[in-house]
Amino acid sequence: QVQLVESGGGLVQAGGSLGLSCEASRRTLLMNAMAWFRQAPGKEREFVAAITRGGGSTDYTDAVKGRFTISEENAKNTVYLQMNSLKPEDTAVYYCAAGLRISLRSRDYGYWGQGTQVTVSS
Dump pLDDT digits (tens) for 78-99. 999 999 999 999 999 999 999 9
- Per cent of the chain over pLDDT 70 is 99
What pLDDT band is residue 30 in, cutting at 50, 70 and 90? confident
Q: Would you state the pLDDT for residue 74?
A: 81
| Residues found in the chain | 122
Dump pLDDT digits (tens) for 60-78. 999 999 999 999 988 888 9
Q: Would you state the pLDDT for residue 107?
A: 95
| Residue 112 Cα distances to 7, 14, 88, 95, angstroms | 13, 28, 25, 7
In the predicted structure, residue 117 carries a pLDDT above the cut 80: yes
Q: Would you call 106 helix, strand, or coil by DSSP?
A: helix
